[in-house]
């Protein structure tokens, strides 16, 4: 059997693509790694910026997306894609159980995962004072002291967001200037309750039940210190889940699949949707929008082959 389109990934981009594919009567399947739909948002405490569902939890929103797909009778297959090949114009997807699926078009919506610091205490306190999403978990730290690790746009925006909730925010950055946009960096530096620890790295995360303090090292002076915090937000970039596709598709230096708003990649018939593609704003709404755009592109592609 050769499907019209295989959708890989069942986060907001993949599920939106599935809804559009079913409604367009494309012969499609969705391959999801865990057998649980929703992607990263499953762990999001509250989603307050997706229209029509104020204050919903990420878990409940994913359940709604999935319910919508089920109402349209979408076929889900559980498995991890371990190989991806082209047989002329046909795309061949191999899963970890050895099963293989062929299609005319593919939508890759595999997202990514937050990069970890890989320091002692990080695994132990994940979800117990360590968060990779300030907008999800920031509200837990009202009136407390927190730290943000990183110097990119996400770290700086997270720190600005947290400064409105927490009593004090440390920003720990390994260099002496931010990578983030100057305008947001300047805004951050103007805030009274924010202290930036420049040229500094976290060497350990300590506590008993939850996070209580961080071991810090200044990389220029080698001076070590310890700061007391109730929470730490790690914002040191994302690792896109694009490894399997890298031999075939063009990616940027960070591994994001190069694709614009049309979600078209450098290979006709292969589309990249959601966080996996190069884009400025990685949010649920832009991921869902990509799912729609990608399937529209798939239809255009199928009509022309
Ligand atoms: P990013 O731009 O890659 O920044 C990651 C930050 O973490 C950098 O400051 C980096 O330090 C630091 N870092 C990386 N690995 C580290 C490690 N092991 N230990 C300590 N620090 C580490 O990632 P991001 O902030 O998640 O942003 C991702 C993308 O989305 C970027 O392209 C960003 O511009 C974009 N974005 C844009 C907006 C916006 O336009 N408003 C908002 C959010 C995100 P160095 O600086 O030393 O490399």
Q: What SS3 string covers 197-232?
A: ECCEEEEEEEECCCEEEEEEEECCCCCEEEEECCEE
Query: Residue 150: what are its φ and ψ, rounded to 5°?
Result: 130, 165
Mean pLDDT computed over 270-274: 98
State which residues form the domain around 162. 130-234
Mean pLDDT computed over 103-125: 96
Of the listed ranges 47-56, 66-75, 240-249, the least confidently predicted one is 47-56
136 is known as an active-site residue: yes
Distance CA 138, CA 159 (A): 10
- At 84, which CATH number? 3.50.50.60
Asked if residue 296 and residue 210 are part of one domain, the reply reads no
Q: Is 98 exposed, middle or buried (0-12, 13-18, 19+ CB in 10 A)?
A: exposed
Ligand 1 center–CA 152 separation, angstroms: 3
Q: Quick check: helix, strand or coil at residue 67?
A: helix
Which of 151, 184, 281 to probe ligand 1 with, by most ligand atoms within 8 A of CB? 151
How many structural domains are present in the chain?
Answer: 2
Whether 43 has a pLDDT exceeding 70, the answer reads no
Which of 154, 155, 286 to probe ligand 1 with, by most ligand atoms within 8 A of CB? 154
Is residue 123, in this structure, part of any structural domain at all? no
Q: Tens of pLDDT along 57-99?
A: 889 999 999 999 999 999 999 999 999 999 999 999 999 999 9
Ligand 1 center–CA 129 separation, angstroms: 21
Domain stops at, among 184, 201, 234: 234
Asked if residue 96 and residue 146 are part of one domain, the reply reads no
Ligand 1 center–CA 280 separation, angstroms: 12
Whether 144 has a pLDDT exceeding 90, the answer reads yes
Whether 266 has a pLDDT exceeding 80, the answer reads yes
Around ligand 1, the residues with Cβ closer than 6 Å are 115, 117, 149-155, 157, 174-175, 179, 201, 235-238, 280
Asked if residue 176 and residue 99 are part of one domain, the reply reads no
133 is known as an active-site residue: yes
Of the candidates 69, 70, 83, 137, the residue annotated as catalytic is: 137
Name the residue at shortest CA distance from atom 19 of ligand 1.
Answer: 117
Is residue 179, in this structure, part of any structural domain at all? yes
Whether 44 has a pLDDT exceeding 80, the answer reads no
- The atom of ligand 1 lying closest to the CA of 117 is 18
Which of 2-16, 36-50, 129-143 ranks highest by mean pLDDT?
2-16
Of the listed ranges 41-55, 79-93, 156-170, the least confidently predicted one is 41-55
Mean pLDDT computed over 151-171: 95
Location of structure tokens 């409105």: 164
Higher pLDDT among residues 160 and 133, named by residue: 160
Query: Residue 206: what are its φ and ψ, rounded to 5°?
Result: -120, 160
Asked if residue 107 and residue 33 are part of one domain, the reply reads yes
Of the candidates 4, 69, 136, 290, the residue annotated as catalytic is: 136
Asked if residue 108 and residue 252 are part of one domain, the reply reads yes
Is residue 185, in this structure, part of any structural domain at all? yes
Ligand 1 center–CA 249 separation, angstroms: 23
What does pTM read for this prediction?
A: 0.76
């Amino acid at each position: 059997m050769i499907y019209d389109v295989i959708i890989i990934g069942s986060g907001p981009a993949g599920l939106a693509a599935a809804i559009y594919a079913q409604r367009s009567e494309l012969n499609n399947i969705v391959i999801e790694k865990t057998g649980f739909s929703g992607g990263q948002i499953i762990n999001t405490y509250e989603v307050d910026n997706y229209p029509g569902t104020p204050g919903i939890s990420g878990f409940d929103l994913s359940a709604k997306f999935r319910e919508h797909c089920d109402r349209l009778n979408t076929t889900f297959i559980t498995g991890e894609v371990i190989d991806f090949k082209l047989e002329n114009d046909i795309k061949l997807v191999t899963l970890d159980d050895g099963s293989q699926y062929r299609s005319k078009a593919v939508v890759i919506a595999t997202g990514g995962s937050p990069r970890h610091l890989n320091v002692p205490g990080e695994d132990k306190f994940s979800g117990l004072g360590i968060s990779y999403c300030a907008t999800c978990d920031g509200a837990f730290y009202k009136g407390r002291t927190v730290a943000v690790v990183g110097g990119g746009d996400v770290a700086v925006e997270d720190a600005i967001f947290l400064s409105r909730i927490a009593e004090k925010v440390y920003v720990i950055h390994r260099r002496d200037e931010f990578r983030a946009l100057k305008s947001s960096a300047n805004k951050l530096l103007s805030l009274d309750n924010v202290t930036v620890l420049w040229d500094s790295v976290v060497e350990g995360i300590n506590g008993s039940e939850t996070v209580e303090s961080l071991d810090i090292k200044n990389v220029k002076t080698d001076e070590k210190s310890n700061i007391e915090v109730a929470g730490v937000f790690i914002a040191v970039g994302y690792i896109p889940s694009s490894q399997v596709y890298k031999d075939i598709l063009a990616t940027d230096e960070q591994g994001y699949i190069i694709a614009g708003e049309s979600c078209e990649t450098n290979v006709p018939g292969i589309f990249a949707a959601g966080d996996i593609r190069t884009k400025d704003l990685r949010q649920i709404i832009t991921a869902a929008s990509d799912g729609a755009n990608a399937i529209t592109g798939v239809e255009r592609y199928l009509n022309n082959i």
